C-alpha cells in the first residue's frame, strides 16, 4: 500500500489492524458497477434493517422487509446484493437483496424456460384484471385464465401453489404472462379421451354438479361433462332441477347414452332406484281409496303425491259433486293432505286420475233414487239460457226445463216468457242422468194437456166463438179457450176478397167460425168465418175451406205462427231495429 493511500484512509480506518487495512485496500481495487450483483458481508443487524459491507468505502443498509420471514442471518453471513447506487445523499452505498434475487431469478427463467413450458408458483394477490403469481419473479395470471369457468372469488386462490403454463415472455418489459386454464384444458382433453375409451351405457359413475339450467344439470365426470336431464332426475314430478341437486354436489349417476362422435353423454339419477310405476296397477287399482299430499296446483287440477315418484291428478271437475270450481287453488293448498279415489291408471303414460268427490255419495244418484221419472218436484228458478231455465232442486243440484217443455199450447222462444228468476215452480221429472249430472224437468207436464180432451169438445163443422188473439199475413189466430187457438186463413175470413187481414179483423174482436180441420197429433185447428154464415144443414166441408191448411202449413202454431204473425201486426212499419 502506498503512503499516499494509507494517509488518505487513515482517518476512516483508525483502529483497524494492518491485515484489515490490507484487505480493505484489496477490496478497493474491485470494480463497482451500478446494476451489478456483488457479494457482501452482514456486519450489523438492527430491528428494522441490516448493514452489509461490500468492500466499498461505505456500507449499505438493506430494510429487513426485503428478507423472507423464514430467513435467519447472523453477523458475518455472506449474501448477494444488487448495487443500485454507489452513493446516496448521505454517501452510503444503496443495495437491494430483493432486486438481486429477482434479477437472478429472471436470468434463470430465461435460461431454463420457454413459452409453452410449465412452471410452478404461489399466488400472491390480486391486481387489475387478474392475479400475481410468484414463479421466482412476478408473473401475471389473467382472470380469464385462472380456471376452466369464471371464478366467483379469485381471493380463494391467494396463497395457493399452482402449476401454470407460460404463454408470453416479454424481454423488453421483463414480464411474464401465464395461464392455468390452458393447462387444465390440456389435462381435461387427456382425461376426456381416456374416459371415452372406458365409458359404457349402464355404468354407474361419480360426478360433481357443475352447472344447473332450467332443463337439467351438467355433471363433471372428471374428463367431460354429461347432461342429467330434469326428466331423468326423479320418477316423480319436479318443477326445477334445483329441487334435486345443488352446484358442487357429488352424485352417483347412470350412463344412459353415449354419442362418441359428438362426445356427448346422457345421465340418469332416478335409475339408481326402482321404477315405482312398474307395478302401479297392482298398487293403485281402480276404485281404490288413497291418501296423499298436494304437491302442485294448476288451474285445471291438483297433483297429489301418493308415494315418492308417484303422483295422481285430481281434475277440477272431480273436486266436488255440486260446487262449480274454477281453479283447484280455490279449494286446495300446497301441502294439504287429502283422500281420493283412483279413477284410472295409465302405466305407459305414467298417469293416475283421482277423484276427491267420489269419497262422498253422489247427490245426483241420491236424487235419482228418491225421485223416479214422472214424480213431481219443486224448485227455484236460478238461471236462464236461450234454450231453457235451470231450477235449483236442492243445494248444488239443478234440473233444466227446456223451452219445449214449458207450455202445451205456446211456442216459447225464451224461458223469460214463462218464468222469472227466483220464482218457485213445480215441475215433473222427465229424465235423470247421474253420470253426466243432468236432470230434465217438464213444466207443462205438471199441468193437464188441454189437447187431450179436444176430440171430446170439438168436431168438424161445429160452430164456435172466440176472440182474435194474433194477426198474421196469412190469417188470424182465434183463441177458443185458454191455451187453445184455431187459425182462420185469409181466404176464409169473408166472401169478399181480403187483401190484408188487418183491414177486416183486429186483435180482441169476438168472432164466430166453424171448425173445418181438427188435427190432434199436430195440435192444429182450422176455422172458417165464412162457413159460420151457413146454417148447420147447409154446411158441408169442401177443399176450398182447406186452402192454406194443407199438411205442413201452419194452422195454429203454436210457435212459428207467432213469428209469422209479427209481419202482419199493425204498427210494424213504424218499428226500427234497436227498439224494445
pLDDT value at position 148? 82
Residue 307 has pLDDT above 60, yes or no: yes
* CA neighbor of 195 nearest in space, from 265, 254, 147: 265
* β-sheet bridge partners, residue 38: 81
33-68 pLDDT, tens per residue? 776 778 888 888 888 888 888 887 778 888 887 787
Binned at pLDDT 50, 70 and 90, residue 559 comes out as very low
* CA neighbor of 517 nearest in space, from 555, 569, 483: 555
pLDDT value at position 23? 55
Mean pLDDT computed over 327-352: 91
Give all domains of the chain, ordered by start, each with its CATH number: 1-25 (no CATH), 31-112 (2.40.50.140), 113-184 (2.40.50.140), 199-272 (2.40.50.140), 280-359 (2.40.50.140), 370-446 (2.40.50.140), 451-566 (2.40.50.140)
Residue 558 has pLDDT above 50, yes or no: no
Size of the chain, expressed as the number of residues it contains:
580
Long-range contacts, 495-503 (Cβ 8 Å, 24+): 495/530, 495/533, 500/568, 501/471, 501/472, 501/473, 501/474, 501/475, 501/476, 501/568, 502/471, 502/568, 502/569, 502/570
* CA neighbor of 121 nearest in space, from 166, 71, 72, 56: 166
* CA neighbor of 304 nearest in space, from 269, 271, 334: 334
- Reduce the secondary structure of 175-234 to three states and give it as a string: EEEEECHHHHHHHHHHHHHHHHHHCCCCCEEEEEEEEECCCEEEEECCCCEEEEEHHHCC
> Among 28-32, 171-175, 228-232, which stretch is predicted with the lowest mean pLDDT?
28-32
As a whole number of angstroms, the distance between CA 435 and CA 399 comes to 14
* β-sheet bridge partners, residue 429: 441
Check residue 170 and give left, alpha or beta (phi > 0: left; psi -120 to 50: alpha): beta
* β-sheet bridge partners, residue 514: 463, 528
253-279 pLDDT, tens per residue? 998 998 888 888 999 988 888 888 888
Mean pLDDT computed over 543-570: 49
As a whole number of angstroms, the distance between CA 494 and CA 510 comes to 15
Residue 557 has pLDDT above 70, yes or no: no
Radius of gyration of the chain from its Cα atoms, rounded to whole angstroms:
55
pLDDT value at position 10? 47
The conformation of residue 415, written as its DSSP 8-state character, comes to G
367-423 pLDDT, tens per residue? 888 889 999 999 999 999 999 999 988 887 889 999 988 888 777 889 998 899 999
pLDDT value at position 3? 41
pLDDT value at position 17? 59
pLDDT value at position 414? 92
The contacts of residue 447 (CB under 8 Å, 6+ apart) are 408
* Residue 16 near residue 24 (C-beta atoms within 8 A): yes
pLDDT value at position 337? 93
Q: Phi, psi at residue 426, to the nearest 5°?
A: -110, 140
Residue 454 has pLDDT above 90, yes or no: no
Residue 21 has pLDDT above 60, yes or no: no
As a whole number of angstroms, the distance between CA 471 and CA 506 comes to 8
310-328 pLDDT, tens per residue? 899 999 989 988 888 889 9
78-89 pLDDT, tens per residue? 888 878 777 777
> Among 132-141, 293-302, 571-580, which stretch is predicted with the lowest mean pLDDT?
571-580
Pairing relationship of beta strands 510-519 and 484-489 according to DSSP bridges = unpaired
37 vs 208, residue with greater confidence: 208
Provide the 3-class DSSP secondary structure of residue 545: helix
362 vs 476, residue with greater confidence: 476
pLDDT value at position 579? 33
282-302 pLDDT, tens per residue? 889 999 999 999 998 999 999
pLDDT value at position 562? 40
* Residue 432 near residue 439 (C-beta atoms within 8 A): yes
By CB atoms closer than 10 A (0-12, 13-18, 19+), residue 537 is: exposed
As a whole-number percent, the residues of the chain with pLDDT over 70 amount to: 88
* Residue 105 near residue 136 (C-beta atoms within 8 A): yes
Average pLDDT, the chain: 82
pLDDT value at position 576? 30
As a whole number of angstroms, the distance between CA 58 and CA 247 comes to 63
Residue 342 has pLDDT above 90, yes or no: yes
234-247 pLDDT, tens per residue? 887 788 999 889 99
Provide the 3-class DSSP secondary structure of residue 239: coil
pLDDT value at position 551? 55
213-227 pLDDT, tens per residue? 999 999 888 878 889
The 10 Å Cβ neighbour count of residue 28 is 14
pLDDT value at position 314? 94
Amino acid at each position: 500500500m502506498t503512503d499516499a493511500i494509507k494517509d488518505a484512509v487513515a482517518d476512516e480506518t483508525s483502529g483497524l489492524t494492518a491485515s484489515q487495512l490490507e484487505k480493505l485496500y484489496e477490496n478497493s481495487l474491485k470494480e463497482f458497477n451500478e446494476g451489478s450483483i456483488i457479494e457482501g458481508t452482514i456486519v450489523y443487524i438492527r430491528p428494522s434493517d441490516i448493514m452489509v459491507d461490500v468492500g466499498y468505502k461505505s456500507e449499505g443498509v438493506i430494510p429487513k422487509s426485503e428478507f423472507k420471514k423464514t430467513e435467519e442471518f447472523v453477523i458475518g453471513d455472506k449474501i448477494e446484493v444488487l448495487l443500485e447506487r454507489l452513493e446516496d445523499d448521505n454517501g452510503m452505498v444503496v443495495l437491494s437483496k430483493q432486486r438481486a434475487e429477482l434479477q437472478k431469478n429472471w436470468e434463470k427463467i430465461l435460461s431454463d424456460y420457454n413459452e409453452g413450458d410449465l412452471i410452478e408458483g404461489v399466488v400472491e394477490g390480486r391486481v387489475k384484471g387478474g392475479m400475481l403469481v410468484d414463479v421466482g419473479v412476478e408473473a401475471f395470471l389473467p382472470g380469464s385464465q385462472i380456471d376452466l369457468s369464471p371464478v366467483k372469488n379469485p381471493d380463494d386462490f391467494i396463497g395457493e401453489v399452482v402449476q401454470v403454463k407460460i404463454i408470453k415472455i416479454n424481454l423488453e418489459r421483463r414480464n411474464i404472462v401465464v395461464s392455468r386454464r390452458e393447462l387444465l384444458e390440456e389435462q381435461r382433453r387427456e382425461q376426456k379421451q381416456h374416459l371415452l375409451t372406458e365409458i359404457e351405457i349402464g355404468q354407474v359413475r361419480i360426478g360433481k354438479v357443475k352447472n344447473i339450467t332450467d332443463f337439467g344439470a351438467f355433471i363433471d365426470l372428471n374428463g367431460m361433462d354429461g347432461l342429467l336431464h330434469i326428466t331423468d332426475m326423479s320418477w316423480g314430478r319436479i318443477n326445477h332441477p334445483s329441487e334435486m341437486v345443488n352446484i358442487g354436489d357429488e352424485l352417483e349417476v347412470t350412463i344412459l347414452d353415449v354419442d362418441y362422435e359428438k362426445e356427448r353423454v346422457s345421465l340418469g339419477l332416478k335409475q339408481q332406484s326402482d321404477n315405482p310405476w312398474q307395478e302401479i296397477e297392482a298398487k293403485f287399482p281402480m276404485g281404490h281409496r288413497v291418501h296423499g299430499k298436494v304437491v302442485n296446483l294448476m288451474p285445471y287440477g291438483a297433483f297429489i303425491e301418493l308415494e315418492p315418484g308417484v303422483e295422481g291428478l285430481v281434475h277440477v271437475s272431480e273436486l266436488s259433486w255440486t260446487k262449480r270450481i274454477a281453479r283447484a287453488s280455490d279449494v286446495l293448498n300446497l301441502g294439504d293432505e287429502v283422500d281420493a279415489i283412483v279413477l284410472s291408471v295409465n302405466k305407459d303414460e305414467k298417469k293416475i286420475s283421482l277423484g276427491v268427490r267420489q269419497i262422498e255419495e253422489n247427490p245426483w244418484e241420491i236424487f235419482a233414487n228418491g225421485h223416479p221419472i214422472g214424480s213431481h218436484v219443486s224448485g227455484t228458478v236460478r238461471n236462464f239460457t236461450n234454450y231453457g231455465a235451470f231450477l235449483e232442486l236442492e243445494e248444488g243440484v239443478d234440473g233444466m226445463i227446456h223451452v219445449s217443455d214449458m207450455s202445451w199450447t205456446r211456442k216459447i222462444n225464451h224461458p223469460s216468457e214463462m218464468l222469472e228468476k227466483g220464482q218457485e215452480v213445480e215441475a215433473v221429472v222427465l229424465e235423470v242422468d247421474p253420470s253426466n249430472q243432468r236432470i230434465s224437468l217438464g213444466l207443462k207436464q205438471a199441468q193437464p194437456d188441454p189437447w187431450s180432451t179436444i176430440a171430446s169438445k170439438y168436431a168438424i163443422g161445429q160452430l164456435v166463438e172466440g176472440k182474435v188473439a194474433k194477426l198474421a199475413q196469412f190469417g188470424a189466430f182465434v183463441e177458443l179457450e185458454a191455451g187453445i187457438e184455431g187459425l182462420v186463413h185469409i181466404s176464409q175470413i169473408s166472401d169478399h176478397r181480403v187483401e190484408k187481414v188487418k183491414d177486416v179483423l183486429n186483435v180482441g174482436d169476438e168472432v164466430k167460425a166453424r171448425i173445418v180441420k181438427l188435427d190432434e197429433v199436430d195440435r192444429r185447428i182450422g176455422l172458417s168465418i165464412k162457413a159460420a154464415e151457413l146454417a148447420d144443414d147447409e154446411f158441408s166441408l169442401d177443399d176450398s175451406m182447406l186452402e192454406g191448411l194443407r199438411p205442413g202449413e201452419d194452422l195454429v202454431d203454436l210457435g212459428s205462427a207467432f213469428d209469422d204473425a209479427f209481419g202482419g201486426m199493425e204498427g210494424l212499419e213504424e218499428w226500427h231495429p234497436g227498439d224494445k
